[in-house]
Amino acid sequence: MLKGLAASEGIGIGTVMIIEDRILDYTPKTVTDTKAEIKRFNDTVDTFCEIAEKKVEALKITAGKKEADIIKGHIVMIRDPYLISETEKHISNGECAEEAFANICDMFESIILSSKDELTRLRAADIRDIKFRIMSLLLGVKEIRISEAPKGTVLVAKELTPSMTAGIVKENIEGIITETGGLASHSAILARALEIPAVLNVPNAVGTFKHGSPVIVDGKDGTIINCPDNKQIERYTKKKIDFLKVHKELEKFRGKRTVSADGKNFDLFCNIGKPDDIFRALYYDGEGIGLFRTEYLFMDVDSVPNEEEQFEAYKQAAVMLNGKPLTIRTLDIGGDKEVPCLKLKKEINPFMGLRAIRHSLKNRELFKSQLRAILRASAFGNIKIMFPLITCTEEIEEGKAVVEELKAELRDRKIDFDEDIKIGIMIETPSAAVAADILAKKVDFFSIGTNDLTGYTMCCDRENSDVSYLYSVFQPSVLRLIERTIRYAKDNNIPVGICGEAAADPMMIPLLISFGITEFSVSAPFVLKARRCISTWTKKKADAVAKQVMQLSTESEIREYLSSVISC
Q: Which residues are catalytic?
A: 186, 499
- What's the chain's Rg over C-alpha atoms? 27
**420 burial level (CB within 10 Å; 0-12, 13-18, 19+):** exposed
Q: Dihedral of CA 451/452/456/459: which sign? A: positive
SS3 category, 212: coil
Backbone angles phi, psi at 425, to 5 degrees: -135, 155
Which helix (H) or strand (E) covers residue 266, if one does? strand 265-272
Cβ atoms of 188 and 162 closer than 8 Å: no
Provide long-range contacts, Cβ within 8 A and 24+ apart, for 212-215: 212/15, 212/16, 213/15, 213/16, 214/13, 214/14, 214/15, 214/16, 215/13, 215/14, 215/15, 215/16, 215/154, 215/156, 215/175, 215/177
Q: Choose among 62, 520, 528: nearest CA to 254.
A: 528
The packing angle between helices 81-92 and 97-113, to 10°, is 140
Q: Which strands, in side-by-side order, build the sheet including 11-19?
A: 2-3, 223-226, 214-218, 11-19, 153-157, 173-178, 198-200, 5-8
**Of 464, 462, 441, 474, the residue nearest 558 (C-alpha):** 474
Helices (H), 114-229: 118-122, 124-139, 162-166, 186-193, 205-208
Backbone angles phi, psi at 265, to 5 degrees: -85, 140
